[in-house]
Structure 1
């Protein structure tokens, strides 16, 4: 038996046509080295060179542009200046100086002060005419007359044998009618002081009984109507009963 050890791999013959792996590995290493070198050179050039701060400038174009045709309402002479309109011939030329201020005449003033002032002539005394009265310097003012106070209406009173009466209300009971008279007499004593109450019972079929409050003794209807006018002016109901 042969005791020589045989290795586990086989020697590949050189002429088998496979790719040259060694040359590929060497080329890849060289390419990587070139890339790293180029990166280092670029970084050094950026750090070593002069770096300027960027300057921010505004837009040089105009912010607003006036249109050629603004539009809107057309007003005559809208583009003319105020001080260039209606300039007369006197204003078109050069400026003119105003006249000099008037100076006072001192000699004329001194001569006027030096002259004595004329004395006023005294009035001649008037001869007194017998039987005539001297005129007062001022006429006496007429005294203002106070306006006459309106005459108060005469206080009404019942006439003897007067039969015309007036009605002042209609209530549901005799006590209510008498109480209404007492209330009216207290409030309008100057109108009802001379009269006496008259309570008249009034019944109608199918209706409630009423008690009419009346007073009277007027000579005629005109006197009763005058009384009712005064009563209505005071807020009292009043009807002439004929």
Structure 2
């Protein structure tokens, strides 16, 4: 039996074929992938197991952060130290106080503040006149001497000088006082010797003035001219001021608007038109005004009336 020579079946060189470029690229890609996987695993492990002591922190100081001063100074607010404030501040009531003071101690009145018996009006007036004339008499006479009366006696303090001396003495005393006042108080040239007394303000009755003004306005109010609604031509420009339950009510509203100052001159050349309308089993009266050249004039009139707070609608007669 013939033997097979396997060595003859190999290549002529006797060596394996070199690796292709595709194989080299596959191995390089695998190595890169393994490197990336290893890097990701390492980074994740470091993130998870990182020591927190490496993070910088601020160490807290020892003791309280802020301390209130023993004497803060300034001005104390009102109502401090009350029991009701303690409840709001601390949440609980304080212990009972040793002493409760509901009102300050009473204050004794001075002698001038105590009630006294008022003198009669005549004596009070005499005392006031004597006090006012004392400085002037002292500056004129320099001293007080008894004045002999008609009977040869002397008048002293407390006697009725006016009754003893009579009207002539009063006139002389008044002249002496005026002369003494002028001598004691010399005035410069052009000075005002006696200030004028201000005039009293007249008392006016404002209610009466308002009533008089209303009466004058009613007397001077123009008499409204009224025409029937049937006499108004079709297509005439009108304005409607409202709808009322009766014709008298409509006329009263017209008179009220015409008499008001804010509508002064609005209804002077206008004619009143009251139209009776039956609708839905009910009768009502439309208050309208005519006297407009065209619809534009009616719209301008309604704009002015509406600006003053009244109702107004431009319409066309039908």
TM range (shorter): 0.3 to 0.5
Q: TM-score, normalised by structure 2?
A: 0.25
Structure with bigger gyration radius: 1
Q: TM-score, normalised by structure 1?
A: 0.33
Q: Which structure would you say has the larger RCO, counting Cα contacts within 8 Å and 6 or more residues apart?
A: 1
Looking at secondary structure, tell me which structure has more helix per residue.
2
